[in-house]
Amino acid sequence: METFVLLEAVLYRFRDLLGSQNFALFCAYVWGVILCRGPHTVSEIYQASGSETHYWSLIKFLSRGKWDWQAVCGRLIWVILSYLPQWVYIYDHTHAIKTGKKQFGLHFFRNHRYRKRNTNQSKFHWGHQFAGLGILGLTSVGALLFPVWVHLLTPGAACALAAFESVIVLIPPGLIIFDRGFNNRKYFKALIKQGHHLLCRVRKNAAFYYPALPKKKGKRGKQPIYGKRAHIHKWTYDDLYVEALDKTFEAAHQIVRTKMCPQPVHLIVIRTKPKKSQPYRYFLVFTTDLTLSVETIVHYYHLRWKIETGFRDSKESFGFDHYQVRSQTAIQRSVVLSFLSASLTQMMALPKFQQAHPDALPKLKVALKEMNIHWYHPTHWTLGLIARYVRWQKSRQGFAASFFQNKNNAIFKNAFTDVAG
């Protein structure tokens, strides 16, 4: 059985969310995104899908089709979690750099990697900003990131908060990992209200306080929440070995309070000293889940970078930022389907999925030998490598004796270009 055929049963789980015609276009669009080799414009996706419908049907499916992208994301989350024994959420923002002024919502955002004397860049980019959520699955083959939800943001903090509030009611309660840019009481208050826990990095000069002592009897007023301020440089630091990372850190931890979060938090501080003549550097993370061990907290935050590589893979292999549609609805739906295609492709690397379908993916060395890849020696299946293997299988399947010679030559040339490139 060909690898890409195994996902047809997974796609059918979205059948009740779309009408018959929209479901056919939905399947065609997803297969087009997975099998497309070049830029993931609607034209390239239509050609890669092999759909017998008209090209304009995909345009109408994105802009005027009667289907709810939030419901599709919710179903995708349910499908992914059914295959994962242990998981956490990761939330972050990303950008898509665009040119032109015909698309909805284009605005300037700062280029944080700007370098002086470089005439080929600007201090500001012109494009779209997105909020994205990924599910990090902790499996026997390693940590796998599944991008499952994305929302187009317009300028302003209110839109970003509204987008975050719309996703936390969509997902089952769990631990959500943030970068330090999301240290905001409004975010954390909405998150805790829905039964979630947070894990976030914080600046070294952030204010933390010890829990207040019980109020003396007969003293008026409410029980105070914040006690004396905690000074992390006065704490006692011990060696901490994290087995998952195979590293030893110099760390200290306490249960403290902070005005950024309405609940007590477990604060972990890691200090390093690059040179004896230099002062200590401090790395701070805190979580509201007081049941987690210090080693687990450090390991989880170390995996936060997976969301950055997940954004990169979605942009490079699944056309997250290649869209050329104009309306807000079409842009939103195209990026959601890009995330869905990436997650379904990544699903084939799951041990539980491979147990249900033994022929889902062959051994890595066998696949590399079949594709004649001898210069690359990975240790495990990556998202880009899975997409490459599926596209190679599809190109090989297209070669048949019933075709005319010129068509077979074109198919063989494309397949050879894909493997060699």
The structure tokens listed for 353 are 């999925």
pLDDT of residue 195: 94
DSSP class per residue in 126-165: EEEEEEEEEEEEEETTEEEEEEEEEEEE-SSHHHHHHHHH
User: Rounded CA gap, 73 and 338, in Å?
Assistant: 11
How confident is the model at residue 372, as a pLDDT? 87
DSSP string, 294-315: HHHHHHHHHGGGHHHHHHHHHH
Q: What are the angstrom distances between the C-alpha of 213 and each of 100, 225, 259, 371?
A: 60, 9, 17, 67
Residue 12: count of CB within 10 angstroms of its CB = 11
Token look-up 């317009």 returns 154
On whether the CB atoms of residues 270 and 250 are closer than 8 A, the answer is yes
Number of residues that this document lists for the chain: 421
- The amino acid occupying position 301 is Y
- In this structure, what token pair is assigned to residue 291? 């049941």
Spans of the chain, pLDDT less than 70? 1-2, 397-421
Long-range CB pairs of 194-197, under 8 A, 24+ apart, other chains included: 194/168, 194/169, 196/89, 196/168, 197/173, 197/287, 197/288, 197/289
What is the token pair recorded at 293?
């061990």
Give the tens place of pLDDT for each residue, 111-168: 877 888 777 778 888 899 999 999 999 988 889 999 999 999 988 778 899 999 999 9
pLDDT of residue 192: 95
| C-alpha neighbours within 13 Å on the C-beta side of residue 208 | 27
